[in-house]
Structure 1
């Protein structure tokens, strides 16, 4: 990938790595014993950047918010960001090559869930592939529309992946060695070092992570390499600057695209378990991604209640695909038909700057906090799609996977088809007003000016002009009330709105997607509570919500050849999360989400006719998702834990005629602390070797990993 001009950037939010110890003391011949308290994913008093720009804690934010910080990521053994978010309330994520960072949440998927990196919106779900968890300090989640914070999109919610950065710790070394089933290995190192001794004003952090695996699917080998460096400089007592560079890469050889389902006449999808690990892709199929982030972070404390932040950032990525993507059984289930030869390249660059000011003051004699700012970004993406006509029936027991380049038309290399350029200019404002000692009002507003220009380098037609451009000016916001019942419990009510494309994403949308349409509109009502109980031994959150998305693209009810802006979807649900220290040694944590998502108005073309799907459920939306963890400290050095995850069945088509079955996964771990700096963890995943679909589409489903075992050595000095 050629080198491009690089600019610098700023990270929104410093991160904490907390290693908590709950000391219990026995006064018996001065013998002191320390009990280790397991990290928890429910922490109401941590500041959360993703729910507000005002530095509010999760407890103070009038929305459903979740945090998985570094200690939780390590405790649960999450290998990448996908595993991190699957432990968060209501999330169901997978990452087959074609769908990148697929997330289902609150009844919505794909580009209706905004995935941010350090508060930066890439505007394209395929850019949100999982990142090695070693590089991440924390992940934050906010439920429901949050366009007023991050721009167009985010009907269902926003997920923010926050990287590790240099901090003012004098010296730190941490590392991990991990090896497990399918020859899966990880080598990760991190160093934070003060430059200049005790009175240092500069702090350097380096992180490196390398992962390899032969894959649980035949012939699917994977390799990841991630490198990050950041330098924090205290220029004056009130002014600091952080320069951060990250370079993750990942490569899949002969990627797994899914397993064909048997033709049984049943509504429930089923695969041939004897061919469970078969790979029907070509021998030289490939997915590759190379990314470079550069960020410059300036923090200036103008006064005790006033601060200024500036974020200048550059993102540069190239993603390459060449695969046979589609497989189905013949009617007698004797052969598998391979098709869907497709080659693609994405070249994506994003250059932007965000300036924001926070200020504490009084308004009408009431305490008030403000955040105001401006956003500017320029995104460019070039697409090189090439499809080939290919169909081959093979005996699934024995076949030659062949070469992708043997497919007719695939030997000519990448051919540029479209170029996208999206300019975003935005103004945003947020306020928290303390109406009384217990009641506060939170408001937020954002104005965006979006301009999109698309150049077509392929064949020109009425629906694919040589060039077109569109502009939109959405206004979105949130208003919320937070009432403190006691210092340990509150109630909140909020209303928020969103705006997003009627179909597709700005980085890849065609004239048919957006050429004649306005933006879709979304709105949410949410009520909830966050509270501690039994003298702080437990904490819990509960939220009830309704989201309505209107005016997205559907087929015309009369003419299926026309697309009109008339769709509507409603999602209603409840989310509950909690933790409880059952005994000084035993911690229980759980979350559960239920959503009822259905189309109020939706038509699609079937066999040349327009068919209504009113009342049907969207694809790949489970109505229930639940997680449970039990962790037990047997001695100060031995810890044990079990976990389970339940995901309800999902439909694989808009007609709701086929579905992937529900599944439940179990896991267990044992950890031994060799000393204060070293621990060894053995972990079993999918303990019962469940066969399950993480995602379903058409005639195939994307199977999750079978039972696996790994052992990890963690060090921290």
Structure 2
């Protein structure tokens, strides 16, 4: 591999000779005509431009010259099908800002379209002209998030009539999303901005096959294809993987928090549906969500500012507002930094009649990102990302629907707060026969929440028959805190795409140290409790405290390869060998556990193999059909509970067994003005990770039961005219248990004798939690013919109801529709958008808790919100 210094003289000499001979050379049209050959088959998939040009040279057997600086950071759609050489090259160079010329010797010279100058008349002039082509900063290419220049839904159209396409890294290297033999949805930064997306609820709810259950701050989950045993966080590792720039954010055991980072200045968000065990590892049982933050760019100085203000129905006059900014600074041709900061407040709309606080569930979100990118030599790239995100509400966001439409009722405020700090360092190095990627990541998650436990511990249980339980003088808040330190590394080698056989192999590892602490206090309780309780069981007014620790590790070797055994058929096969280990300990103190209680040490290990196999037939860029079989896995976990005589409590639970089988079709028509995706899948899921009851009514985790998820997903995008777009996503899902599971609990008869009573905890035919049968989202975008580019966006989403958990199938959530409306315009460098979210002011329930003696508690979508947003971007 030549470095820049070595490459430039060689290229200068070649180009100088070409330019010096230009006076006697035939015209470009003549050269093109003379150099056309019979069409041949090309199979060059979407990828980075440099690799695509190398693949073109190999498949066409043509000599091609280009400066590496010209292709750096550029992506291509690629070309698949039968074309003559130059038509294939045009497709590869489309939307890159580059063109080509053909020399007398039949070689091809790739050059910058913006730097094409008049032909020099002497050798003395050729030098500066060549230097200009090789070193001058290029005109800004199409954003890296897409190789197409057409806008996404809601954005302004340009001269390109085809629909917006997104390059993703779902296969750990850049490819066009629609070229992947699997179910991948992606929304670019421009598309997210066009719909006003800020958080998961704004865009995951528009993704086929995904149900987002907006609940407690930091605890809201996404269920993909119905793979979930609860709409909240599982006691073990969740079934959906969350990543930021490929750095995993999930950990073994109960998640400390699920970060929901603001989408301002994001590159894209990728949603991979179906198990992703081969390339993404544990927790991606149902699928994975990869949030890709935009990197610093050396192309130009750039800046953007966004601010908004609005009002939510029943917010007691409080205002929603936000302020966000981005600054990108190239410090040299090879080094750049980028900074992002954001702050937003969303007004509350629930009134807590217990504390007397109106609109108490206000949410504040703030944070920022820093990116640095250095390209020290040709083919080398070093990227640093640091991110901080903090979210807080002064009072929990659930209501008591039986007490009123917007009513909460607690004796103390219930604040919730979580923080995320993430750092990652990445190296991408071209080694000639492939690209080596090394990625290390570190994340620190913290959670702090308070819950009113007065109903449970306002009166403490008696010490003995002679001493009555104490009545505490004030409310008893329960405080739960958690901290999770996660470290990860990954090293992989990827061969160039587009050849007959390509591959990706790698190793990875993660380690987690997690600590959870909880407390119960009551002001003034020490004076009452110290009369009869041991001094060691009290810490002032704190009468209970506990601590639990979890350590987890995962190691894996993974790989995936593509074999193109004909012009149209590609076989993909791969797998991941994994080894997981989890240890846990817990100790409880205070008057509830006199003298303390240490639970038995928990330890769980497991290894296994997660394979993947797919077969794709690609007629051309506009039609692909594929079949796929893949397997997912997640961490098991130990049971850290005390033993029970006469009952064999399992030591823990292992990973579920889940196979996903799907058939998919990706089609385009009318010059890609119409795009259709259709997928049908069957998921066989056994050994579900569930919680059951022992005879002493203590829950434990185990593997039990089976389920089958059968579904169809449809996505359609239609550019009806250059000024009008329509999109539609439809998912039908039948996700049910296929096995009945019975556990036993203990009850006492009238004589005080214990009896074991069977309980059906999993019922054959029972609908899985969060597995809505129908999910529909639709959007219409109209661009009006005026100089200020007015755009109207009307969006609607609807999903049917589903159970909240396996244990409470009658407690239903979802089952609502929501309509949003936006009107935007562009005035010079300032964009103005007026919006109404939840136009019809629905009260859709997205999450909830059962009745624990206080009444059902549920979370609802934000009431009607009206606002205006201003965007300024440097041009």
Q: TM-score scaled by structure 2?
A: 0.68
Which moves more between the two structures, 79-88 or 637-646? 79-88
1:207 aligns with 2:328: no
**CA shift at 1:190, angstroms?**
0.3
Which moves more between the two structures, 156-165 or 53-62? 53-62
Residues of 2 paired with 1:286 and 1:99: CA distance? 12
Q: Is the 8 A contact 1:343 1:410 kept in 2?
A: no
After superposition, the C-alpha distances for 1:283-339 in whole angstroms (9 at most, x for unaligned) are 432111122111111111111x411111111111211111238999xxxxxxxxxx9
Question: Which residue of structure 2 lines up, in the alignment, with residue 331 of structure 1?
Answer: none
Q: Which has the higher strand share?
A: 1
Q: Is the 8 A contact 1:40 1:579 kept in 2?
A: no
Residues of 2 paired with 1:617 and 1:361: CA distance? 42
Q: Which has the higher helix share?
A: 2
**CA shift at 1:222, angstroms?**
1.8
Match of 2:222 among 96, 103, 106: 103
Question: Which residue of structure 1 lines up, in the alignment, with residue 278 of structure 2?
Answer: 148
**CA shift at 1:228, angstroms?**
1.2
1:624 aligns with 2:765: no
1:163 aligns with 2:298: no
Residues of 2 paired with 1:457 and 1:114: CA distance? 30
Q: Is the 8 A contact 1:501 1:514 kept in 2?
A: no
1:276 aligns with 2:396: no
Question: Which residue of structure 2 lines up, in the alignment, with residue 115 of structure 1?
Answer: 242
1:486 aligns with 2:606: no
**CA shift at 1:91, angstroms?**
1.8
Match of 1:314 among 442, 446, 451: 442
Question: Which residue of structure 2 lines up, in the alignment, with residue 713 of structure 1?
Answer: 870
1:457 aligns with 2:457: no
Residues of 1 paired with 2:481 and 2:541: CA distance? 15
Q: Is the 8 A contact 2:217 2:392 kept in 1?
A: no
Match of 1:286 among 415, 418, 425: 415
Question: Which residue of structure 2 lines up, in the alignment, with residue 259 of structure 1?
Answer: 399
Residues of 1 paired with 2:250 and 2:380: CA distance? 31
**CA shift at 1:139, angstroms?**
0.6
Question: Which residue of structure 1 lines up, in the alignment, with residue 375 of structure 2?
Answer: 234
Question: Which residue of structure 1 lines up, in the alignment, with residue 94 of structure 2?
Answer: none
**CA shift at 1:245, angstroms?**
1.1
Question: Which residue of structure 2 lines up, in the alignment, with residue 355 of structure 1?
Answer: 491
Residues of 2 paired with 1:438 and 1:623: CA distance? 36
Say which SS state the counterpart of residue 148 (structure 1) adopts: helix
Q: 1:294–1:666: structure 2 CA closer, same or farther, 3 Å change rule?
A: same
Q: Is the 8 A contact 2:388 2:420 kept in 1?
A: yes
Q: 1:563–1:121: structure 2 CA closer, same or farther, 3 Å change rule?
A: closer
Say which SS state the counterpart of residue 793 (structure 2) adopts: strand
Q: Is the 8 A contact 2:577 2:609 kept in 1?
A: yes
Q: 1:235–1:326: structure 2 CA closer, same or farther, 3 Å change rule?
A: farther
Question: Which residue of structure 1 lines up, in the alignment, with residue 33 of structure 2?
Answer: none
Residues of 2 paired with 1:458 and 1:589: CA distance? 54
Q: Is the 8 A contact 1:645 1:665 kept in 2?
A: yes
Match of 2:157 among 36, 46, 53: 36
Q: Is the 8 A contact 1:41 1:68 kept in 2?
A: no
1:86 aligns with 2:205: yes
Q: Is the 8 A contact 2:383 2:427 kept in 1?
A: yes
Residues of 2 paired with 1:473 and 1:515: CA distance? 16
1:701 aligns with 2:869: no
1:672 aligns with 2:805: no
Say which SS state the counterpart of residue 59 (structure 1) adopts: helix
**CA shift at 1:550, angstroms?**
1.0
Q: 1:549–1:107: structure 2 CA closer, same or farther, 3 Å change rule?
A: same
Q: Is the 8 A contact 2:162 2:673 kept in 1?
A: no
After superposition, the C-alpha distances for 1:374-408 in whole angstroms (9 at most, x for unaligned) are 10221110011346899xxxxxxxxxxxxxxxxx9
**CA shift at 1:78, angstroms?**
0.7
**CA shift at 1:547, angstroms?**
0.8
**CA shift at 1:82, angstroms?**
3.0
Match of 2:302 among 157, 161, 172: 172
Q: Is the 8 A contact 2:515 2:550 kept in 1?
A: yes
**What is the number of residues matched between the two proteins?**
644
Q: 1:281–1:299: structure 2 CA closer, same or farther, 3 Å change rule?
A: farther
Question: Which residue of structure 2 lines up, in the alignment, with residue 574 of structure 1?
Answer: 712
Residues of 2 paired with 1:221 and 1:146: CA distance? 36
Q: 1:341–1:38: structure 2 CA closer, same or farther, 3 Å change rule?
A: farther
Q: 1:387–1:480: structure 2 CA closer, same or farther, 3 Å change rule?
A: farther
Q: 1:530–1:469: structure 2 CA closer, same or farther, 3 Å change rule?
A: same
Say which SS state the counterpart of residue 695 (structure 1) adopts: strand
Match of 2:561 among 417, 420, 431: 431
After superposition, the C-alpha distances for 1:10-30 in whole angstroms (9 at most, x for unaligned) are xx999835697669xxxxxxx
**CA shift at 1:695, angstroms?**
2.0
After superposition, the C-alpha distances for 1:203-236 in whole angstroms (9 at most, x for unaligned) are 0101000111332222122211111111111111
1:48 aligns with 2:168: yes
Q: Is the 8 A contact 2:521 2:542 kept in 1?
A: no
Match of 2:178 among 59, 62, 86: 59
**CA shift at 1:511, angstroms?**
5.7
Question: What is the RMSD computed on CA atoms of the aligned residues?
Answer: 3.4
Match of 2:803 among 651, 660, 669: 651
**CA shift at 1:101, angstroms?**
2.9
Question: Which residue of structure 1 lines up, in the alignment, with residue 504 of structure 2?
Answer: 371
Q: 1:628–1:453: structure 2 CA closer, same or farther, 3 Å change rule?
A: same
Q: TM-score scaled by structure 1?
A: 0.83
Q: 1:307–1:511: structure 2 CA closer, same or farther, 3 Å change rule?
A: farther
Question: Which residue of structure 1 lines up, in the alignment, with residue 610 of structure 2?
Answer: 476
Match of 1:129 among 241, 254, 259: 259
Larger Rg: 2
After superposition, the C-alpha distances for 1:180-206 in whole angstroms (9 at most, x for unaligned) are 11411110000111113xxx2210101
For structure 2, list consecutive stretches of 5 or more residues without a partner in the other structure. 1-72, 76-142, 313-318, 351-358, 457-474, 524-537, 643-648, 747-757, 851-855
Say which SS state the counterpart of residue 179 (structure 2) adopts: coil
After superposition, the C-alpha distances for 1:416-447 in whole angstroms (9 at most, x for unaligned) are 52111111111111101111110001112111
Residues of 2 paired with 1:518 and 1:411: CA distance? 40
Which moves more between the two structures, 686-695 or 34-43? 34-43
Q: 1:209–1:410: structure 2 CA closer, same or farther, 3 Å change rule?
A: farther
Following superposition of structure 1 onto structure 2, how do residues 544-559 of structure 1 map, counting pairs within 5 Å? 544-554=680-690
Say which SS state the counterpart of residue 641 (structure 1) adopts: strand
After superposition, the C-alpha distances for 1:133-156 in whole angstroms (9 at most, x for unaligned) are 115321101111111112222221
After superposition, the C-alpha distances for 1:515-544 in whole angstroms (9 at most, x for unaligned) are 343322110100010010223111011110
Say which SS state the counterpart of residue 721 (structure 2) adopts: coil
**Bigger relative contact order (CA 8 A; separation at least 6):** 1
Residues of 1 paired with 2:736 and 2:539: CA distance? 41
Question: Which residue of structure 1 lines up, in the alignment, with residue 840 of structure 2?
Answer: 688
1:245 aligns with 2:386: yes
For structure 1, list consecutive stretches of 5 or more residues without a partner in the other structure. 1-11, 24-33, 263-271, 329-338, 391-407
Residues of 2 paired with 1:40 and 1:625: CA distance? 29
Q: Is the 8 A contact 2:417 2:449 kept in 1?
A: yes
Residues of 1 paired with 2:435 and 2:661: CA distance? 32
Match of 2:601 among 463, 467, 470: 467
Residues of 2 paired with 1:476 and 1:444: CA distance? 9
Residues of 1 paired with 2:693 and 2:447: CA distance? 37
Residues of 1 paired with 2:296 and 2:650: CA distance? 42
Q: Is the 8 A contact 1:138 1:163 kept in 2?
A: yes
